[in-house]
Amino acid sequence: MTLLLLLFIPLAGGITTFFLKGDKQVKSWSLLIALASLAVMGYNLYAWNELPKTYSVQWLPLLGSSFALKMDGTSALLSLLTGLSYPIIFIATLRNEYASVNRFYGLMLLAQAGILGVFLAADALVFYFFWELALIPVYFLCSQWGGEKRIAATFKFFIYTFLGSLFMLVGILYMYYQTPDLSFSLEAFYDLRLSAAQQSWLFWLLFAAFAIKMPVFPFHTWQPDAYEQSPTAVTMVLSALMVKMGLFAVLRWLLPIFPLANVQYAGIVIGLSIAGMIYASILAIQQDDLKRLIAYSSIAHIGLMSASLFIPNNSALQGAIIQFFCHGVNVLGMWIVVDLIEKQTGTRKMSELGGLAQKSPTLVILLVIVSLANIALPLTNAFIGEFLMFNGLFQYNVWIAAAGGIAIILSAVYTLRMIQSVFYGTTNGVTEKFINIAWNEAVGLSIIVVAIFMMGLYPEPVFRLTADSVTAILGFIK
């Protein structure tokens, strides 16, 4: 039942938000909804052993589809990330002004429902439904509240992801007709014994959708534009949560269904991902806009994760799953900082900034910690994931691991360059205006910093939570 509640709260909350009036009411209501959803998730983890992990009710019996939800360790972790991110986003952007604020927050909450649905769905039709449900609010959010070139960017984003979704739909329908009793359920898909030939093209149909969402090189060009043009709160949702949809989908909807195709194509996917990782890192060094820099840095991190998902060993998979969470938290921190810099100085260009360290030491400390997590320094959360992933990659192929390692160096180059050009040096006309970090942003960042160190020092609970899904996937692959 808690699973249904998890979906229902943001859905109902989002719809009610549309009818509210007044900035204050809308913001406090949506924060309340976000906190409620976090509380349910917290309870879910607290009573992890007692609560049922699945939920199913008849939905479209004629089509053989039921409204089935399933929570394993990984989806619990990602739901927790979603539950945690929303309050942080709402708190950190509390003072942002939006035109027709009720619609903005309503759409944000609808997107949350969609994202959670993707993480929980155990029925292909339900999965597809939520996959699109998550996309549509974000489309409106970007196209209405975005920056100057929002229409072009949103259009690109929408076409890209929608095209991917269509490929996926074709794949799902084909598999549906292959099931013995025409069913969309996850178990039926898992039980499919597809031939190698079928697997090899179905794999690419589904992977296309997931790869675009993640995004993996060379399907990534929508991302920097979309991140740049979206309002920052939406960018946070996009980069912290929506890209995880693609990664998670690989884990639940791709690896177990196409074991033969995985073996066949893992090399290509890993090669693409690692190449994309280095490629994005090099491009990140070139960027002047903070949002684009973080976008490319994010692509690089995602590249490592998507490569690790296809490596059939415990270390890589476990590392990738942990990194789902850590990347989400860390990138959120980066966006909060970018948002507050843009709000106060009116620019995101690194060449125009500088000297903020004098203005706000607190901000610098918080950002430096988040940046260090971004470059996976030990004792920050990202190190655990990256260490495990590189270890897995290394056991898979030494040279690929070594090549991927170049990105470790490059990440230090661009991250430190960002810190330096934004914070160090002397103030100029633009940064003179900067006042200080506001309490709400400080709260948001502090939660993130605490999470960074907690997971960096003691990742044990996450290992315990996700161990079952790792073993399950390894079982499917072997």
Binding residues for other proteins, rule: CB under 8 A, are 156, 159-160, 218, 220-222, 279, 282-283, 285-286, 313-315, 318, 355, 357-358, 361, 365, 372, 377-379, 384, 387-388, 390-391, 394-395, 398, 401-402, 405-406, 408-409, 412-413, 416-417, 420, 423-426, 458-460, 463, 467, 470
- Which is closer to other proteins, CB of 133 or CB of 467? 467
Residue 185 phi/psi, 5° resolution? Answer: -70, 155
- 201 to each of 171, 208, 262, 462, how far by Cα in Å? 9, 11, 11, 35
Question: Nearest Cα to 345, choosing from 431, 437, 441, 419?
Answer: 431
**Helix-strand-coil split of the chain, %, nearest 5:** 80, 5, 20
What is the distance between the alpha carbons of residues 101 and 41, in angstroms, rounded to a whole number? 26
Nearer to other proteins, 131 or 160 (CB): 160
Measured from the CB of residue 332, what is the shortest distance to other proteins in angstroms? 22
d(CA 414, CA 290) in angstroms, rounded, equals 11
Name the token pair of 152: 């072009």
> How far is residue 154's CA from residue 158's CA, in Å, rounded to a whole number?
6
| Closest distance of CB 425 from other proteins, Å | 5
**Which is closer to other proteins, CB of 28 or CB of 471?**
471
**Least Å from the CB of residue 14 to other proteins:** 31
Could you give the CA distance from residue 356 to residue 347 in angstroms, rounded to a whole number?
13
Minimum CB separation from other proteins for residue 24, in Å? 32
Q: How far apart are CA 40 and CA 27, in angstroms?
A: 20
> Quick check: helix, strand or coil at residue 455?
helix
- Identify which of residues 199 and 313 has a Cβ nearer to other proteins in the complex: 313
Instruction: Tell me how far, at minimum, the Cβ of 49 lies from other proteins, in Å.
Output: 20
The residue type of 466 is T
Rounded to a whole number of angstroms, the minimum distance from the CB of residue 62 to other proteins is 36
Query: Smallest distance, Å, CB 98 to other proteins?
Result: 30
Question: Which CB sits closer to other proteins, 125 or 278?
Answer: 278
**Looking at beta carbons only, is 201 or 458 nearer to other proteins?**
458
Angle at which helices 398-423 and 259-286 pack, to 10 degrees? 30
Q: Please give the span between the terminal C-alpha atoms of the chain, in angstroms, as a whole number.
A: 33
Which of 15, 59, 6, 65 is CA-nearest to residue 36? 6
Min dist CB 274 to other proteins, Å, is: 14
State which residue, 45 or 282, has the beta carbon closest to other proteins: 282
State which residue, 35 or 419, has the beta carbon closest to other proteins: 419
d(CA 4, CA 387): 36
Q: How far is CA 8 from CA 11, 60, 79, 117, in A?
A: 5, 19, 14, 10
Residue 280 exposure: Cα atoms within 13 Å on the Cβ side? 31
Question: Looking at the DSSP assignment, which residues form a beta bridge with residue 123?
Answer: 185
> Minimum CB separation from other proteins for residue 17, in Å?
34
| Cβ closest to other proteins, residue 2 vs residue 314 | 314
CA distance 40 to 37: 5
Which residues is 68 bridged to in the sheet? 56
Q: Which is nearer to other proteins, 16 or 314 (CB)?
A: 314
CB-wise, 47 or 159, nearer to other proteins?
159
**59 closest CA partner among 136, 127, 5:** 127
Using CA atoms, how far apart are residues 377 and 24, in angstroms rounded to an integer? 40
CB of 91 to other proteins, least distance (A): 21
CB of 232 to other proteins, least distance (A): 23
